[in-house]
Amino acid sequence: MTRPRLMIPGPIEFADEVLAAMGQPSPGHVDPTFIPVFGRALQDLRTVFQAGEGYQPFILAGSGTLAMDSTIANLVEPGDRVLVIDTGYFSQRMADVCRRYGAVVDVLSAAPGETIGAGQVAGQLASADYDLVAVTHVDTSTGVLTDVAGIAQAAKAADALVVVDGVCSAGGEEVRQQDWGVDVFLTASQKALGAPPGLALFVASPAALAKWESRQAPVASYYSDWGLWLPVMQAYEASRPAYFATPAVNLVMALAVSLRQILAEGLEVVFARHRYVSDAFKTGVSSLGLGQVPTHPDHAAHTLTCARYPAGVGVELLPKVRAAGAILAGGLHPAIRNEYFRIGHMGIVGRSDTLATLGALEAGLRAAGYAVEPGIALAAAQAVLDPVRG
């Protein structure tokens, strides 16, 4: 690859077959060739989230923030009590969205790099009558992975709906929407699901649909209203054309390809690949003497690595790494923004991406004046990757 690899936490490097779908002539949205593609994408989304019958997938033109907006606009009524589990930047956004739709929001906040456990959530749930609990599965600003299964169990016991922001997890981290009791699992196309940016994706449980159906207040957002989208999603899945607003046809075609690739590889294999690639990155970064933002490996995500700059090095590192072949992202959490950088490793990422990126990081660090023995991170990563390759 002559251009630098895009190794940020989304958008990511996309498969050639996915990009080829983007480049096809656009069919009409009610074209007989498009209807089954949309229908299959909806079904495959439900399968990838490990949700069953009665769970309703939605695919809207928009980004992950629209998936948050649509979920909350439809599930929250003015005066509802929401508990937001705050592990960083995107949990704060979720709290803002909930407030915008009239919720009374309590926020349980973790320090940057820490997570919040199910026990702590259960304690908070005992203190008030919450209607909804919102969790960020992987917080892209800290690289923290939160225990969705445990928190959802606590929320169910307290009779609250569970909304999970899986924008930086779906397609990379283990997700079991139905087994875990998640009412809306939401994401976007551009991360581990492996299609270009532009689609808001979510799957709603029967309980979420029931809550929406029993609303007293109308949904305050027009475009986000499930009442306008539900018949469209149901029609496409039943192989019938429907229209409310024009779908992003090429993006849907691209997503259909990437979802098929994920299912062909096998969900468990995909999760395992994300785990060992993540281990290789984290081992490589540690071998260079760099710390990480998550305070314990047990709650570090497998879709990205948030590495701390070594002493004497700062944001000037990133253009140097780019010149050596890999595009990385800067910090995002406002409290520590200039202390760390982020490496995304999700989607079709594998051995060669890992080694090329760590090689570029070594070169960038050297160019920034940090002494690095050439190849040290590559050796560390290969020690993780080689046994896997078997």
Smallest separation (angstroms) from ligand PMP to the CB of 187: 8
Minimum Å gap between C-beta 29 and ligand PMP is: 22
Min CB(371)–ligand PMP separation in Å: 33
Residues 152-211 binding ligand PMP (CB under 6 A) are 165, 167-168, 188
What CA–CA distances, in Å, run from 74 to 10, 11, 77, 204, 232? 27, 27, 8, 11, 16
Q: Nearest approach, Cβ of 10 to ligand PMP (angstroms)?
A: 6
Q: How many residues bind ligand PMP (CB under 6 A)?
A: 11
CB 147 within 8 A of CB 115: yes
Please report whether residue 212 would count as binding ligand PMP according to CB under 6 A: no
**Residue of 4, 22, 47, 65 interacting with ligand PMP (CB under 6 A):** 65
Q: Which residue has the tokens 């149901």?
A: 234
E strands within 225-294? none
Report how far residue 224's alpha carbon sits from residue 100's, in angstroms, rounded to the nearest whole number. Answer: 14
Contacts (CB under 6 A) with ligand PMP, residues 126-155: 136, 140
Alpha carbon 212 to its chain centroid, in Å, reads 24
Contact 191, 163 (CB under 8 A): no
Helix intervals (H) in 64-168: 64-75, 89-100, 118-125, 148-157
Task: Tell me whether residue 5 or residue 191 sits nearer to ligand PMP (CB atom).
Answer: 191
Q: How many CB atoms lie within 10 A of CB 53?
A: 7
Other residues' Cβ atoms within 10 Å of the Cβ of residue 104: 15
Contact window for ligand PMP (CB under 6 A) among 23-31, 61-69, 201-209, 274-282: 61-69
Residue number, 63 or 286, with CB nearest to ligand PMP: 63
Residues 6 or more apart whose CB falls under 8 angstroms from that of 31 comprise none
**Interaction pattern, residues 6-45, with ligand PMP; x per rule: CB under 6 A:** ----x-----------------------------------
Give the chain's length.
390
Q: Which of residues 88-127 bind ligand PMP (CB under 6 A)?
A: 90
The 3-state DSSP class for residue 280 equals helix
Residue 348 tokens read as 């079709």
Residue 168 or 253: the one with the smaller Cβ distance to ligand PMP is 168
From candidates 39, 64, 247, 284, binder to ligand PMP by CB under 6 A: 64
Which residue of 43, 63, 153, 178 would you call a contact of ligand PMP, by CB under 6 A?
63
**Contact, 331 vs 139, CB < 8 A?**
no
Between 136 and 382, whose beta carbon lies closer to ligand PMP? 136
- Footprint of ligand PMP (CB under 6 A): 10, 63-65, 90, 136, 140, 165, 167-168, 188
